[in-house]
Amino acid sequence: MADTSKNNIILSGMQPTGRLHLGNYEGALKNWVQLQNEFDMYACIVDWHALTSDFDATEQLPERIHQMAIDYIAAGLDPERTAIFVQSDVKEHAELHLLFSMIIPIPWLERVPSYKDKAEELGLDSYGFLGYPLLQAADILVYKAGWVPVGKDQVPHIELTREVARRFNTLYGEVFPEPQPKLTPFAAVPGIDGRKMSKSYENEIPLSLPEDDTRKRLKKMFTDPKKLRKGDPGRPEICPVYALHKIYNPDHETEIAPPCRSGELGCVDCKMKLADYLNDALRPLREHRTELENNPDAVKKALTMGADRARARASDTMKDVRKAMHLG
């Protein structure tokens, strides 16, 4: 097996859902921004993957991709250091996916845990949907990446990627490393309703939300259901608002928890304190975001530059792949 301990390449990706929210930021993006200091980083916006579910809403894709690129850069991914690019700008992903599709048994894909659940939940039955994790394997292996920063839910996809690499290497000779997941040190971010923050639950706080709207959104946030009014004792440990204080308010243990427990601090006041901390924390990102919104050409340029860099590496890999397979 190729030694990944010296492999300095990271690839990660997100589907272009549009504007990113706090959960995406805390759960992934913030970590990527750190990783770009130590690794050679490829940050992909996986638009082809989005087609596995949203094939009937493609007119929204360009704007979603643009907004996501803005969030990547505003959050601190540096286009000079990190290749920020759109998957469909680098056709090599598709070629490698096609070649993998010839050597991977269908049951390997049917076994991936997310497949059956999602197929039933969303009524998806396309060929491409079954191949979702194989396209993901191609995304990763086309850069010969050693590491993939992901959340726990994605670990089976990385396992499959390793199996794909192994099968290819066994059939045609050593071309691919076996990449490892790099688990995100994850602060679980609850949404407005207390469930995990997710666009599909419509409980998210977008990074781009203006300060006043952030206040309004937080005002609606669920709290300890037993604390009905100021004076009632609260339980910070089960309160989603407190979970956000833990992330954004360095003094949560002294400023929030004791007066919440005693009842002295009401939920509205507590939420407004949180709004101040959160707005302060996001202000630089939001300012950067506004600059980028006013300069769409700079964002396009970053994506072109990122795609050029990604393509250079991906096309080298494809030369090795074609040679190993005796293809032209």
Q: Chain centroid to CA 13: how far? A: 6
Region of residue 326 (left: phi > 0; alpha: psi -120 to 50; beta: else): left
For residue 49, state whether it binds ligand TRP (rule: CB under 6 A): yes
Asked if residues 59 and 220 have their Cβ atoms less than 8 Å apart, the reply is no
> Residue ranges of the alpha helices (H) in the chain?
22-24, 30-35, 47-54, 61-74, 92-103, 106-110, 113-122, 127-130, 132-141, 155-172, 211-219, 240-248, 257-262, 267-293, 296-325
For residue 150, state whether it binds ligand TRP (rule: CB under 6 A): yes
**Is 6 labeled as catalytic in the residue annotation?**
no
Q: How far is the CB of 79 from ligand TRP (least distance, A)?
A: 19
Amino acid identity of residue 317, one-letter, is T
Q: First-to-last CA distance in the chain?
A: 26
Which CB atom, from 115 or from 222, has the smaller least distance to ligand TRP? 115
Among 46, 61, 69, 257, binds ligand TRP (CB under 6 A): 46
**Is 196 labeled as catalytic in the residue annotation?**
yes
Which CB atom, from 109 or from 281, has the smaller least distance to ligand TRP? 109
Site string for ligand TRP, 86-125 (x = CB under 6 A): ----------------------------------------
Residues 206, 220: Cα–Cα separation, whole Å: 15
Which CB atom, from 12 or from 82, has the smaller least distance to ligand TRP? 12
Q: Catalytic one among 196, 300, 301, 323?
A: 196
For residue 13, state whether it binds ligand TRP (rule: CB under 6 A): yes
Query: For ligand TRP, which stretch binds (CB under 6 A), given 11-19, 60-68, 226-234, 310-318?
Result: 11-19
Residues 44, 28: Cα–Cα separation, whole Å: 13
Nearest to 136 by CA among 152, 116, 158, 151: 158
Q: How far is the CB of 279 from ligand TRP (least distance, A)?
A: 28
Asked if residues 222 and 201 have their Cβ atoms less than 8 Å apart, the reply is no
Among 17, 52, 67, 136, binds ligand TRP (CB under 6 A): 136
Which CB atom, from 7 or from 15, has the smaller least distance to ligand TRP? 15
For residue 154, state whether it binds ligand TRP (rule: CB under 6 A): yes
Which position has the token pair 């996501």?
68
Q: What is the DSSP letter of 21?
A: B
Residues 47, 17: Cα–Cα separation, whole Å: 9
Residues between 204 and 233 with contacts to ligand TRP, criterion CB under 6 A:
none
Among 7, 9, 10, 11, binds ligand TRP (CB under 6 A): 11
Q: How far is the CB of 154 from ligand TRP (least distance, A)?
A: 6
Among 50, 51, 69, 140, binds ligand TRP (CB under 6 A): 140
Which residues in this chain contact ligand TRP in the complex, by CB under 6 A? 11-15, 46, 49, 136, 139-140, 148, 150, 154, 157
Residues annotated as part of the active site: 118, 196, 199
